[in-house]
Amino acid sequence: MRLRAALATMSVAALAAGCQQHRVEQRCGSYPVMGLSLDATTESYRRAAMRHELRLQEALAPGFTLRAAAATADDKRLARNEVCAVDLYETGRLIFEHAFTPAEGASAVRHRVQRGRRGGPETTSCTSCHWRGGPAGAGSIVDDSYLLGDHDRISSADARNPPSLAGAGLVQALASEMSAELAAQREHAVARARSSGQAVDVALQAKGVAFGTVTITAQGRMLRSKLEGIDPDLVVRPFGWKGTAATIPEFIAEATMLHFGVLPASLLAPDAAGRQPLDIESTEKAELTNGQVIALSVYVAGLAAPTTIAPLDASGQTTVLADAYVRGRRLFETVGCSSCHQPRLPLRSPMLTLSAGSVRGPRLDLSRDTESPQLVRTVDGVYYVDLYSDLKRHDLGAGVESKHVQGGIAPRLYLTRPLWGLADSAPYFHDGSAATVDAAIARHNGEAGLAHDNWDDLSLDDRNALRLFLLSLRRPPGVQIP
């Protein structure tokens, strides 16, 4: 039985059954239809009806949603590969929309400002912050989180605006391949240095993105003083404004603890210290299973990636402002925006596995196991992702410094934010302080200073054209029923 059908009855038994024993790939079914079609409208209505039914079930039996989710995303069933990816996607969506209660681990007292690495907690659900521009979208300025503070004063903390999560699966897949490329370059250099008995310099590059130079000594030790925009372990971490998390489950586990006060089992694992450990008491117990974190991660990974939609009239069929759009796209390159916001990155394989703690999730195919439109393989056998980012940290200069060092990352260093979906994710910049594209560009300095100056030198018509192009970077339109 498909979980989507089982969910319609809201039966815990049906949820637990899921697609048990469905090891045959085609029996798992496809992801829901998205977009503007009649089928997509029906799907949106189904989701709205589901949310209402869940509220009724929660009223009758508090905790129903999480119990049902735990039964479907059971750790042991996941280990035996008995759960379909689409069922995890559906289950993860329900958890994403769920408002956690004190009985489920959420704090009864919330604080707008987080307390160090303990968190706020300041909210109860993912959707309370990730909503703008569509499901799991960005947040408004009032949704900012205040990190590493004193639990009281906003001025003590670093403001962080919730980013859109659309396309996150592709982001992790790209980062994983980049990390593998860099690791291979390092290992090759180590072998050369040891065999020759001489130091070897290697210019690190992955998917056309340069990460500086390292020197490998004859003994195989890496000297990293000229490394750029990445951690010494050469792992590309594409999540968080500072680039602090390498995977979606890692990002989600920290978020549930910091923002809800709900502790995932993965954070209690012996190797869960991470680059900047959370403040967790040794006596605390897990309130979210590894399977539930994997389900959340599969949902986020399955969100449709943003795309580029040329300006259309109200009918959605006829292109308008074509000349200005083409000029703006060209200016994006010539002004220098693309030096960091690299328009396109190649992905060799769409396969992605999401794990939490000791539990390994299903192997996803991001050309199939996502909402539509899905990733398409080109004739040269590569999948191109129009991300508009290099997944590298850059120094943005004076005026944007964090108050605190986060995860060992310098105050002026920030990960290049992907621009795909920009039209649906205002406000902009890491703290949400830029209400417009112009205001966001005005805050670019440091390594982005030249692009900023070039923007200032543009004529009014050219600025308008570039802005028009940027507002073509959108999430795919779809029907949404509140």
What is the CA 343 to chain-centroid distance, rounded? 17
Q: What are phi and psi of 389, to 5 degrees?
A: -160, 155
The token pair at 401 is: 């410094």
In the predicted model, is pLDDT for residue 229 greater than 60? Answer: yes
Inform me whether the pLDDT recorded for 13 exceeds 50.
no
In this structure, the chain runs to a length of: 482
Which DSSP string corresponds to 175-207?
A: HHHHHHHHHHHHHHHHHHHHHHTS-EEEEEEET
Spatial contact of 206 and 186, defined as CB atoms under 8 Å apart: no
* 26 has a pLDDT exceeding 80: no
First to last CA, the chain: 27
Q: At what angle do helices 248-255 and 290-301 cross, to 10 degrees?
A: 120
Instruction: Give 66-107 as a DSSP string.
Output: HHHHHHHT-HHHHHTT-S-HHHHHHHHHHHHH----GGGT--
DSSP one-letter code for 408: T
Residue 414 CB coordination number (10 Å)? 22
pLDDT given at position 97 = 96
- Give the integer Cα–Cα distance in Å for 28 and 87: 8
Predicted confidence (pLDDT) at residue 12 exceeds the cutoff of 60: no
Q: How confident is the model at residue 3 (pLDDT cuts 50, 70, 90)?
A: very low
Least confident range from 46-50, 215-219, 314-318, 455-459: namely 314-318
Please say if the pLDDT value at position 25 is more than 80: no
34, 47 Cβ separation under 8 angstroms = no
| 347 contacts: CB under 8 Å, gap ≥ 6 | 170, 173, 174, 177, 375, 382, 383, 384, 385
Phi, psi of 224, rounded to the nearest 5 degrees = -120, 25
Is residue 409 a contact partner of residue 244, using CB atoms and an 8 Å limit? yes
Name the token pair of 4: 């989507």
CB 318 within 8 A of CB 312: yes
pLDDT at 272: 67
**Of 13-17, 411-415, 467-471, minimum mean pLDDT range:** 13-17
pLDDT above 60: residue 17: no
- The token duo for 366 is 């991001």
- DSSP characters over 303-319: SPPPEE---B-TTSSSB
What phi and psi values does residue 468 have, to the nearest 5 degrees?
Answer: -60, -45
Q: Work out the angle between the directed axes of helices 248-255 and 168-196 (0-180°, nearest 10).
A: 120
Is residue 290 classed as helix, strand or coil in its secondary structure? helix
Could you tell me which residues come within 8 angstroms of residue 282 by beta carbon, excluding any fewer than 6 positions away? Answer: none
Structural domains of the chain, with CATH: 1-162+247-301 (no CATH), 169-227 (no CATH), 307-344+386-474 (1.10.760.10)
Return the pLDDT at 274: 65
Question: What is the pLDDT, as a whole number, of residue 273?
Answer: 58
Render pLDDT for 70-102 as a digit per residue (tens, 0 to 9): 999 999 999 999 999 999 999 999 999 999 999
- Quickly count: other Cβ atoms within 10 Å of residue 397's Cβ: 16
414 touches 388 (CB < 8 A): no
- Given a cut of 60, whether residue 11 has pLDDT beyond it is no
Among residues of the chain, what percentage have pLDDT more than 70? 93
CA–CA gap between residue 395 and residue 401 (Å, rounded): 9
pLDDT tens by residue, 327-375: 999 999 999 999 999 999 999 999 999 999 999 999 999 999 999 888 9
Helical residues (DSSP H) of 302-426, grouped into ranges:
322-335
Does this model's pTM top 0.85? My answer is yes
What is the model's pLDDT at position 269? 80
Contact 115, 147 (CB under 8 A): no
* 419-452 pLDDT tens trace: 999 999 999 999 999 999 999 999 999 999 999 9
Give pLDDT, residue 283. Answer: 82
- Cα-based torsion angle of the residue sequence 382, 387, 393, 399 in order, rounded to the nearest 10 degrees: 170
Contact 342, 307 (CB under 8 A): no
Mean of pLDDT over the chain: 91
- Name the residue among 478, 347, 475 with its Cα closest to residue 419: 475
pLDDT at 222 over 70: yes
Lowest mean pLDDT among 12-16, 157-161, 311-315, 403-407: 12-16
Distances (CA, A) of 59 to 8, 53, 54, 90, 107: 17, 10, 8, 21, 20
Instruction: Answer whether residue 5 shows pLDDT above 80.
Output: no
